[in-house]
Amino acid sequence: MTGNVGLRRFVPGAAVAHPAPAAAPDAPGELGIPGRDAAASQQGPGQPDGAPGRGTPGPPPGGAPAQEKCELCATEVPAEHGHVADLEQSTLICACRACYLLFTHAQAGRGRYRAVPDRYLHDPARQLSVAEWDQFEIPVGLAFFLRSSQREEVSAFYPSPAGATESTLNLQAWDRLTAAHPLLGAADADTEAVLICRTDSGVEYFLVPIDACYELAGRMRLHWRGFDGGSEARQSIAEFLSGVRSRARAFREEP
């Protein structure tokens, strides 16, 4: 089943089929990723609304950028900072180092908050074939795959002329592929994803943090033009993939 619903769980401002539920008064607001993934929070012509959360205030008078703050304790944070997933509100939160480390423990915050890991992995020893990619039945050559602990299923998100589109996968097919390619099943639920890209030279796949998916979706939302995205979107995605390749370490399956 495909549709443009569900992406709000991971990418604020993405197209949804119904309004998102309002946040509780004391809950962090929805967030466009700041810092190194600032493209996700910029708005271009025709871009869906996706205002930054309370931790990313707009520039003060005079044009100087405001200092970003941790959305949990209000401590100032640098441009390069960690993020925490709020599983109840389906958002990401900018976090200082102390708050980030607090939520690296699964039971911290009664399970509501979870620190987003910063690992990037690839598995050059087990390449995906074009035939295996075709089993996903994704109509374009780029998608990221996310496992939800609440829904207990894996979904794929990919760009389309209508925006980011969600496709719920056949779990039996997914299980067959993860048996042959363990990296596909190594992503932590809710906080990591598998990014797969098919090009003329073959198929690449990586394990990435969920905030990298925010960045990718933000780039697509900002630059996508026309039916195929246009040259600007393709260039932006190529730059993003280059950054992922440079950060990726070889995957080692745990015994």
Which of 154-158, 159-163, 218-222, 246-250 is least confident?
159-163
Q: What digits encode the pLDDT tens for the residues 83-106?
A: 999 888 888 899 999 999 999 887
Q: What digits encode the pLDDT tens for the residues 213-239?
A: 888 888 888 888 877 788 888 898 889
Mean pLDDT calculated for residue range 70-95: 90
Question: How far apart are alpha carbons 11 and 7 in whole angstroms?
Answer: 6
Mean pLDDT calculated for residue range 131-159: 85
Assign 172 a pLDDT band (cuts: 50, 70, 90). Answer: confident
The pLDDT score that the predictor gives to residue 1 is 40
What's this model's pTM, rounded to 2 decimal places? 0.72
More confident site: 104 or 164: 104
> Which regions of the chain does DSSP assign to beta strands (E)?
2-3, 82-86, 91-95, 113-115, 121-122, 142-148, 153-160, 163-168, 192-199, 202-209, 249-250
